[in-house]
Structure 1
Amino acid sequence: MNIHKKFFSKIGFNYLILAISSLIIQIIVINVVGMTNRSLLNNFNILTILSAICNYVLPFPIIYFLMKKLEKQNLKKENISVKTFLFYLSVTFTLMWLGNIIGLGITTAIGGIFHTDISNPVQNLINSSDIWLNLLLISIIGPIFEEIFFRKLLVDRTIKYGARVSIILSAVIFGFFHGNLSQFFYAFLLGGFFAYVYIKTGKIIYTIILHIIVNLMGSVVSLFVAESAQALLSNTFTATNLVIVLIYLAIILLAFLVGIIGLRRYKKAKFNGSKTQISLKNPIKTMLLNPGMVCFILFFIGEIIYSLIR
């Protein structure tokens, strides 16, 4: 195995360790809380908080320590205009919707074949937990940590192989790390695009804000829109309900049109501030067909299968 495959294998094992560590931490924390006060585990909001602590806060030192051992390269920093940011936001929404449609179509088809309902764990979390928890954990805490985990720490170490290698690897790892088929496709698409934005700007704050906005739309704004839409269907609506639904539909339509146009630019992207230092003869094979990445992918394929059959 050459040095480049060894490098990507280390990355694969690092993120596999992150996943396993999160599970172990979660088991320990849940058991400790259960022994202290069993009734707390019956509170869905408490479980949501514990999940965020176990998945983001406590594992952070582990992945930081592992990735710090790999040499990093600082990206060229560049400010972007409000117009460019809104353009990026439109592409983000478009990729999210496309990914959701693909995921919904595939999970519906699988559910039809096996005569079972395949639920979306994040949607269940959003519907079951307090809206303020959704705002804090899903819309703010989650995006901050995920952008550090899957963009900052990852891209800084892989950019020497070129922007496209970093983008593909970020997309693959971010997509699989969600651990279920419902989220895989939009996480894959968004993971790649956020890596693109980070490489273009060199500033993780832009992808954090994009991530916060898209999660905010899905976890908080969607609840208000759903309530208004339900009111319209039941003929108990007010003018406010109608305005909320119309504004939401207008935003979707405008963002989708701009996003579709923007995807053409994304496809032909050039990264003037990021030069490829190491050219790989077979980048996909080198990135993915190595012990670390194979173990990582197999682990999450197993988790995805388990989420489908349980």
Structure 2
Amino acid sequence: MDIHKKFFSKIGFNYLILGIITLIFQIIILNIINLTNPQYLTDINIISIVSTICNYILPFPIFYWLMKKISSTKLEKTGIGIKTFILYLGITITLMWIGNLIGLAITSLLSSTMQSDITNPVQELINSADIWFNLIIISLLAPIFEEILFRKLLIDRTIKYGAKVSIILSAVIFALFHGNLNQFFYALLMGGFFAYVYIKTGRIIYTIILHSIINLMGSVVSLFVANSVNNLMSVFNSLDFAILITYIMILLLFLIIGIYGLTKLEKARFNGQKTEIALKNPFRTMFLNYGMICLTAFYIIMMIRQTLG
């Protein structure tokens, strides 16, 4: 195995360790709860908090230590104006919808083939958990940790191979980390775009804010809109109608902005970012190594397990 394959293999094994220790922490803590206060296992909010602690807070120091052992490169920092940020937000929302449609189409096809529903565990969590949990955990903490884990710590170490390599790797690992088929496609598209924004600006705060807004829309705003739709189905209410129309108009506006923005992305250049190491066979070097193969196999098993229930 050449030096570059070994590099990406190490990256793969680091993220595999992240996935495994996350699972181990979940098993340990849930078993402790089961032995001490088993009634808490029926509380979706407590289970969700445990999941957050196990997914982000507990594994983070270990993963950070592993990644710090790999040399990194500082990205050149560039600010963006409000117009560019709105453009980026429109692109993010557009990619989210495209990814959601692809995911729904594939899961619907699989559901009909298997003759059983493939559920979205995250959507079930959002619908069941307390609104404050959705606001604090899903809309604030998750974006912060995920952008550091899958953008900053990864891209700072892979940017020497070029922007395209970093974007693809960040997108794939981020999508795999979600561990279910429903989220894979929009996480893949948005993860790639967040990587693009981070490389373009060198500032992780922009991707954190974009990520937070998207999660806020999916976990908090969507619940208010869904509640308004349910109310309108029983009796007409001017407030609920206004909420629904406003949401649709804003969404359409951002979709138009996003489609326009996507047509301009191919002309973009990464200021100050030069490829130090050009790979002859990027796909083979990045993914056909022991670490990435094991990482991919681990999350495919997780997806199959979740799909089959």
TM (norm. structure 2) is 0.98
Deviation at 1:27, TM superposition (A): 0.7
Structure 2 CA distance for aligned equivalents of residues 165 and 237 of structure 1 = 52
Deviation at 1:35, TM superposition (A): 2.2
Letter in 2 for 1:221: V
List alignment gaps of at least 5 residues for structure 2: none
Corresponding residue of 1:274: 273
Structure 2 CA distance for aligned equivalents of residues 34 and 268 of structure 1 = 55
Structure 2 CA distance for aligned equivalents of residues 40 and 121 of structure 1 = 19
Deviation at 1:38, TM superposition (A): 1.8
SS of structure 2 residue aligned to 1:156: helix
Letter in 2 for 1:294: I
Corresponding residue of 1:65: 65
- Per-residue CA deviation, residues 7-63 of structure 1 (Å, 9 max, x unaligned), is 000000000000000000111111122222222222111111111001010000111
Structure 2 CA distance for aligned equivalents of residues 168 and 38 of structure 1 = 42
Structure 2 CA distance for aligned equivalents of residues 2 and 267 of structure 1 = 32
Aligned length, in residue pairs: 309
SS of structure 2 residue aligned to 1:229: helix
Corresponding residue of 2:18: 18
Structure 2 CA distance for aligned equivalents of residues 148 and 124 of structure 1 = 26
Structure 1 CA distance for aligned equivalents of residues 145 and 254 of structure 2 = 26
Deviation at 1:306, TM superposition (A): 1.3
Deviation at 1:237, TM superposition (A): 3.0
Corresponding residue of 1:261: 260
Deviation at 1:185, TM superposition (A): 0.0
Structure 2 CA distance for aligned equivalents of residues 83 and 250 of structure 1 = 19
Moved more, 274-283 or 32-41: 32-41
Letter in 2 for 1:181: L
Structure 1 CA distance for aligned equivalents of residues 258 and 75 of structure 2 = 26
Corresponding residue of 1:305: 304
Deviation at 1:193, TM superposition (A): 0.3
Corresponding residue of 2:169: 169
Corresponding residue of 1:245: 244
Structure 2 CA distance for aligned equivalents of residues 107 and 268 of structure 1 = 34
Letter in 1 for 2:173: I
Structure 2 CA distance for aligned equivalents of residues 50 and 237 of structure 1 = 40
Corresponding residue of 1:75: 75
Letter in 2 for 1:27: I
Corresponding residue of 1:134: 134
- Does residue 56 (structure 1) correspond to residue 56 (structure 2)? The answer is yes
TM (norm. structure 1) is 0.98
Structure 2 CA distance for aligned equivalents of residues 233 and 170 of structure 1 = 42
Structure 2 CA distance for aligned equivalents of residues 224 and 141 of structure 1 = 21
Deviation at 1:257, TM superposition (A): 1.0
Contact 2:76 2:271 in 1 (8 A): no
- Does residue 292 (structure 1) correspond to residue 291 (structure 2)? The answer is yes
SS of structure 2 residue aligned to 1:160: helix
Corresponding residue of 1:214: 214
Contact 1:200 1:273 in 2 (8 A): no
Deviation at 1:137, TM superposition (A): 0.6
Corresponding residue of 1:124: 124
Letter in 1 for 2:238: A
Contact 1:176 1:297 in 2 (8 A): yes
Deviation at 1:259, TM superposition (A): 0.6
Moved more, 260-269 or 142-151: 260-269
- Per-residue CA deviation, residues 161-200 of structure 1 (Å, 9 max, x unaligned), is 0011000000000011111110000000011000000001
Letter in 2 for 1:267: E
Letter in 2 for 1:26: Q
Deviation at 1:265, TM superposition (A): 2.0
Deviation at 1:95, TM superposition (A): 0.3
Structure 2 CA distance for aligned equivalents of residues 185 and 151 of structure 1 = 17
Structure 2 CA distance for aligned equivalents of residues 34 and 309 of structure 1 = 24
Structure 1 CA distance for aligned equivalents of residues 148 and 107 of structure 2 = 29
Moved more, 33-42 or 280-289: 33-42
Structure 2 CA distance for aligned equivalents of residues 300 and 271 of structure 1 = 31
Letter in 2 for 1:56: Y
Q: Percent identity over the alignment?
A: 61
Corresponding residue of 1:88: 88
Runs of 4+ residues deviating >4 angstroms = none
List alignment gaps of at least 5 residues for structure 1: none
Letter in 1 for 2:297: L
Deviation at 1:231, TM superposition (A): 1.8
Moved more, 48-57 or 298-307: 298-307
SS of structure 2 residue aligned to 1:272: coil
Corresponding residue of 2:27: 27
Query: Within 5 Å, which residues of 2 pair with 1:156-235?
Result: 156-234=156-234
